[in-house]
Amino acid sequence: MNVCPDGDNPLYPPPPAYNPQPEQDRNTHVPNVRVPTVSEDVAREALLKFVESKWTYSSKPARNLTFKELKPITVYRYRLETYTETRTSAWQYESYNGQPVDGPQFGMSPPPWDIPVSMPQRYTDMVQKIRVPHSSFIKMCHKCNGCGRTRCVHCHGRGQKRCTFCHGNGRSRNKRCTSCHGRGRRRCISCHGQGYKTCTVCHGSQNLLHFIELTVTWKNNIEDFIPDRQPDFPDKKFEKVTGDPFFIDENVLVYPIQGFPDQEICDVSSRLINEHLNRYSATSRILQQRQTIELVPLTHAHYSYGGKDFSFFVYGIENKVFTAKYPSACSIL
């Protein structure tokens, strides 16, 4: 299947009648959430696992360090998911070999948003291509002009090429060329001496079946936000770990969070919801939205080793470790 050379790819906005409204007067109920903590044993085990992945680090400091304080830190992660459906179309063609032609004689082609499709599981990215009903017609191949074959570009239709050994002289080093047997030319390998090749567009069928192909794209558009309040801990580390989702709100269009004790979470909820509505509603159909608040575990572990003070972070349910400085960079255990 191929795209027509002069085809476009128009984007069809959702029909105006589809205009869902957000839920009004929502006041988020925030459950009592206990900040997770880790014990000294868990922190030490996490550090040992981290050290094992660094071949220049010694495990001796991790085994023998003395903890001074394990400080749990409250970290909220807000996430907004907007599940959208987008429809575009483009002219396509394929070689015609006698297959049925669903043309305009069977009726008018339906509008893009009236074509039924099977929606995947929510929040799952997927692309589905559908042939638009009654849009097909047969046309002579534009590549070979209906001949089914094209002139070989390697020999320019001659079926032979100049011998590369004797450069067309028929002789090499005053002897008859053994490659072309003195003829100065050799049969073209590309077209097997025919001078032409089967058309690469219609594959010899001489005609093409043109039709409109509808592309339906389902995409889960995700944005995360974590307040940047830990100057010693890089926020990007949170991207690869999970937290405990204690608040989940789901609707066709969700309403900005209100009443949450962290006002920055409320503000970003309002901002992202408005941004998603403006960004996606003009060109796509918003099928569902979901907003969540996660409590991401983060513990700042302070310890001493060799008479000096150090620290590291344990983060995520996976108990990953980040440290800017480790007591020893020696590989000797």
Q: Would you state the pLDDT for residue 27?
A: 52
Whether the CB-CB separation of 77 and 243 falls below 8 Å is answered with yes
Environment class of 231 (CB within 10 Å of its CB; exposed 0-12, middle 13-18, buried 19+): exposed
Q: Rounded to 5 degrees, what are φ and ψ at 102?
A: -90, 85
**Tokens 């996490």 map to which residue?**
46
Instruction: Write the CB contacts of 67 (distance below 8 Å, at least 6 apart in sequence).
Output: 40, 43, 44, 301, 302, 303
**Tokens 């069977």 map to which residue?**
106
Question: Which parts of the chain fold into alpha helices (H)?
Answer: 40-52, 60-64, 263-280
Environment class of 160 (CB within 10 Å of its CB; exposed 0-12, middle 13-18, buried 19+): middle
What's the predicted TM-score (pTM) here?
0.79
Closest to 246 measured CA to CA, from 124, 123, 74, 8: 74
Q: Report the 10 Å Cβ neighbour count for 324.
A: 11
- pLDDT for 160-182, tens place per residue? 888 888 887 878 778 888 888 88
- For the residues 27-52, what does the mean pLDDT come to? 82
- For the residues 55-75, what does the mean pLDDT come to? 92
In eight-state DSSP terms, residue 238 is G
Q: What percent of the chain has pLDDT over 70?
A: 89
Q: What percent of the chain has pLDDT over 90?
A: 66
Q: Report the 10 Å Cβ neighbour count for 113.
A: 17
